Structure 1
């Protein structure tokens, strides 16, 4: 969706100045606030929990552009959509960075992190290529609804990852309990 944000905003009647004031003004502070608040929120929610919450927030924010296509010219509406998208981008970046760091092997963390972030950016760069054509074919509202719906495969993958992490934790807890049991029997 982000590849088409500027053309969309200009096409629905906002000026470059209006968009720049909102995106570079309030939008910048929203990303910054999201990054700052994303960390503490992540500590409360856990890494996977925060990926869920921030991911849903991002999906709703993307759907906000579909709403923006339906409302009349309003700087307030534009600000709400841009600020919410940027806030959840900041939060999501904090959670995703923590997640990537948590799944890398300490011995190879720099290489693995670089590969994972490169893979992440591949989708942003390659899959955005037909976005202009899609927006033209579908219309702005349907295009942004489709973009919001395209988050579903990511959530399905996150559910699978969450199950795997839960199984791994249960196995680790069982192993730790067995070690404690063996150690306590040695003391007797």
Structure 2
């Protein structure tokens, strides 16, 4: 997006303007729907529930792999780009997929409310698979919807409203679920989340169907072309060697944070904190700390460009893992919990904004939905698989050793960034 095209949509004035438009409100509610199911099926809320049911750490780590659809959504994103969801086709290409995905999330969360992992994890794993597939599909469609519902000049503002809605969804799926579980039951928590999915469903029904963008390249109309062209375009633009290096860097960038994600909930419980403490500090205060870090990252990227901020963000994510050593040394102390969560979430927010700016510079607007889905999946894939076996590492060593080792995983990322440094200068300038 050029400076001219972005004029009037940047900074706080652009965000305030975006909040006053119907599309912005729609994107805020769609963002809420995307954030709501993530923690209950793919991260800390699920692992906390499983630990609360008495499962061992190794099993919790393995069960977390059932949410892998969030990492592989780029595989079916081309179909979402090309076709409509026929049973709901009267709503249009984008909204038909949105409704199908949202109703799937609602059904999955309701079914998870009725499962009892202490009696067997088979049904729970099946419904986590189903819900993560629906949630990942919803994410891909919303990304495409955001791109097509407004001109390029409005994208930054709409992304801001989407992000705010997404973070509020995380609060509901994290802190809200934990509060309901602590004062009621896990069944009540998941049923409440299922009911909240009515908000994004209403936004989809009331929102307008966007006009599909005009292609600036010749698209193949066959089934194979729908999958092949977005990927061939990426390597045609960057070359094979640089393209692979860029994809590897994206995959490693958030690895130190991703690798500890599954063990966070069990660590908090094992450190003597109640579910209410976890909800207040990690999933309420922590979300707002993350928003602060995201805005800080945006300001720094605007002032200094994303290349130097990639270095700061990668290093910050790794070093913030060491803050959890405070909690290991001072269990049950709320000040240590707040200190660790502040460091972790500010670093995550900062790095996340920087990574989005970098990934956006890599995408071809002719295949934005598919290429962005690929990059987002790669940004989470390596750490997700490592997180699946992280419980065994903790049981073999200790939480403290685990946090130190996770911080050291930044070394390959920084080495790769050093190689990429002169090769991404031109993209940064643009």
Tell me: higher relative CO, structure 1 or 2? Use CA pairs within 8 A at least 6 residues apart.
1
Other-structure match for 2:285: 26
Q: Which runs of 5+ in 2 are unaligned?
A: 1-259
Q: Which runs of 5+ in 1 are unaligned?
A: 173-188
Q: Does 1:126 align with 2:420?
A: no
CA displacement at 1:66 relative to structure 2 = 2.4
Other-structure match for 2:318: 59
Rounded to whole Å, the distance in 2 between the matches of 1:25 and 1:87 is 13
Q: Does 1:46 align with 2:300?
A: no
Note if contact 1:38-1:91 (Cα within 8 Å) is conserved in structure 2: yes
Other-structure match for 1:11: 270
Match of 1:127, SS state, is helix
Match of 1:68, SS state, is helix
Other-structure match for 1:143: 402
Return the TM-score normalized by structure 1: 0.82
Hey, which bits of structure 1, 4+ residues long, moved more than 4 A?
none
Other-structure match for 2:421: 162
Rounded to whole Å, the distance in 2 between the matches of 1:96 and 1:63 is 22
Rounded to whole Å, the distance in 2 between the matches of 1:108 and 1:160 is 27
Alignment of 1:68-147 (within 5 A): 68-147=327-406
Q: How many residues align?
A: 169
Note if contact 2:307-2:424 (Cα within 8 Å) is conserved in structure 1: no
1:63-91: CA deviation from partner (whole Å, max 9, x where unpaired): 11123212343211110111211111111
- Which residue among 290, 295, 311 is the counterpart of 1:36? 295
CA displacement at 1:22 relative to structure 2 = 0.5
Return the TM-score normalized by structure 2: 0.38
Name the structure with the higher helix share: 1
Rounded to whole Å, the distance in 2 between the matches of 1:39 and 1:130 is 34
CA displacement at 1:146 relative to structure 2 = 0.4
Tell me the C-alpha RMSD between the 2 structures. 1.8
